[in-house]
Structure 1
């Protein structure tokens, strides 16, 4: 039977992954496979032209940023800097007394943001180049937090998962307020530096605030290191209790595909937890197989066939 490397190389050689940019696979804590490609890339919609990728090339991880935010909240919680998930959500933003005092929003908790079950009007089905997309509208708004918090209440919170970059933005704001530091600065000292990540970027909106929902740029090898940190139970960087809570399936997306706290949880036969991002950005953690897969690609705002083809080649049982 072909080895993992042979399978991946065949996919790349056959042109089945035309948008492929980078792959790092770790097993048992060691890097066992690394591959890099070349192609046109973007940084949050701004063209970078043709890029020859290697181990040191930073790459958008897009919405995998949300999973990073989930880790940061857990670190800050362990340090006593942010409230428990059951705490009221709107009251964490006292700069909006009208919203804090709105009885229609009093039931919202931080957990509703962590699980994307806010019950507020939100739609990210439109392209991420259009203000019809709620995340883009949030970025264009004069105040991102008010924009999210004042969305109309359309259903009971906690009942239905609805993809929301706004929910992640609120968590990022709570972390920044609780730590007294910009999100990207707290991330550097609380997570990235202890993990050995020496270079990263966290893109900011026009308001100067880190884009919690999609702004992180990392090397694929460092994205894999984040997956390994989760597989290892936090290694004292993130409290182990939080890793367990974060990865507990809390709301059903469809069938065996669930959501925890800013992480996807697949409870099918090959149990896995993951962060997924637009364009084919993924970190997949398979605890029972001690396997971590990090992949980057450039198929933004389209079906990510390249990353799917490569991941399928990696995950064939040997």
Structure 2
């Protein structure tokens, strides 16, 4: 045993390395069964935030800003929450299209497990897409399949592809319904927001993970994060409605925000690969902002970004450019502001155009971004 005299030194070096690693992560605060609580801010800035976010609700007309819940996490601590209407802390709220970003996070775990690559043809993982051999996984993630989809809602139900998919002709098999659309653009060249693209992604996951599919969002994402309230509806074919029908409490959704804010890492586990985050948090390269809609968020990979692109300024000028979000119908939002270590969940029932992301974010930062945070 010629190296025995050096063992104490090696043990000391190993211990020092372990302690340094522990120190690097040990100062972080993480939720366990519940969120740790930080000091709740107060004062004029918080009052201004509440005046905008929680005005008196008009349930007769359903007009104006109609917030159901706000949860604010700063540096891993719950510092503010408030509920309105029928929503409470224990209520799993419909996420609407925030479900797309949740599904993207589930897919990110599958990506890290080597189950697919971004340049894989979609048909490789979903044979019903055989008539669209040139559409790649990255194209669906960018809402850039090139299919002739019309994402209209209750204001134009007759011509709406998404209404037909969710409620009438497509409801039994939403991905197959989407696969039946013709192309009217080259894949990967045009952004067109499509809940159909998102549901095809959910169907690709089914083939990737096989018999584990029904439990996979839980085993891959929800359980590692400690999310206990999640419910996710499936269509008649057994495919999760990845576009629209995930439910969870505001506190639980904030856990996904913290995962994203901390670079895909949960405690000491890198749950989402860095390559995945680099992709989903980068603007779609072919995106051209609509000058008539200057406050429209920039599409990433099933997430929305506050980034200046193609000569246009950042859509939310009062928020840092590294801000990104999951967004949904009727005002649902999960905002992540890495620069300020803020995660903000907003559930809502907005029925008109009163609510503005930038106004909310400006007031939220004034109310919650200040004060000491852990290093």
TM-score under structure 1 length normalisation? 0.84
1:70 to partner: Cα distance: 0.8
RMSD: 2.6
* Aligned counterpart for 2:345 among listed residues 294, 311, 317: 294
- Is 2:300 aligned against 1:266? no
**Contact 2:145 2:187 (8 Å CA) reproduced:** yes
Whether the 8 Å contact between 1:90 and 1:149 is mirrored in structure 2 is no
Larger mean Cα displacement after TM superposition, 255-264 or 184-193: 255-264
User: Within the alignment, does 1:243 sit opposite 2:266 as a pair?
Assistant: no
Per the alignment, residue 15 of structure 1 pairs with 56
Q: CA deviation at 1:309?
A: 5.8
Q: Which of 201, 210, 213 lines up with 1:171 in the alignment?
A: 201
Matched, 1:30 2:30: no
Which protein is bigger by CA-based radius of gyration? Answer: 2
Aligned residues, how many?
A: 297
Specify the SS of the correspondent of 1:292: strand
1:72 to 83, 106, 120: 106
Q: Contact 2:105 / 2:272 at 8 angstroms: preserved in 1?
A: yes
Please name the residue that 2:119 is paired with: 86
CA drift of 1:206 comes to 3.9
| Alignment partner, residue 45 of structure 1 | none
Following superposition, the deviation at residue 138 of structure 1 comes to 2.1
Secondary structure at the counterpart of residue 157 of structure 2: coil
Pairwise mapping of residues 126-165 of structure 1 onto structure 2 (< 5 A)? 126-127=153-154, 130=157, 132-139=159-166, 140-141=169-170, 142-165=172-195
Q: Following superposition of structure 1 onto structure 2, how do residues 34-45 of structure 1 map, counting pairs within 5 Å?
A: 34-38=81-85
Once structures 1 and 2 are overlaid, which stretch shifts more, 169-178 or 244-253? Answer: 244-253
Cα 1:90–1:203 shift into 2, 3 Å: same
Q: Does 1:276 align with 2:327?
A: yes
- Going from structure 1 to structure 2, the CA distance change for 1:138 and 1:11 (only over 3 Å counts) comes to closer
CA distance in 2, matches of 1:170, 1:27: 35
Equivalent residues in 2 for 1:147-226, closer than 5 Å: 147-181=177-211, 183=213, 185-226=215-256
Q: Given the superposition, is the C-alpha separation of residues 220 and 67 from structure 1 closer, same or farther in structure 2, using an over 3 Å criterion?
A: same
Query: Which residue of 2 is the match for residue 5 of structure 1?
Result: 46
2:147 corresponds to which of 90, 102, 120: 120
Quote how far apart the aligned CAs of 1:313 are: 2.3
Q: CA deviation at 1:34?
A: 0.7
Measured in 1, the distance between the counterparts of 2:327 and 2:93 equals 14
- Unpaired runs of 5+ in structure 2? 1-41, 58-63, 308-313, 371-375
- Deviations 1:237-288 (CA, angstroms, capped at 9, x unpaired): 2223322221111242527942211011111361211110001100011111
2:23 corresponds to which residue?
A: none
1:154 and 1:13 mapped to 2: Cα distance? 43
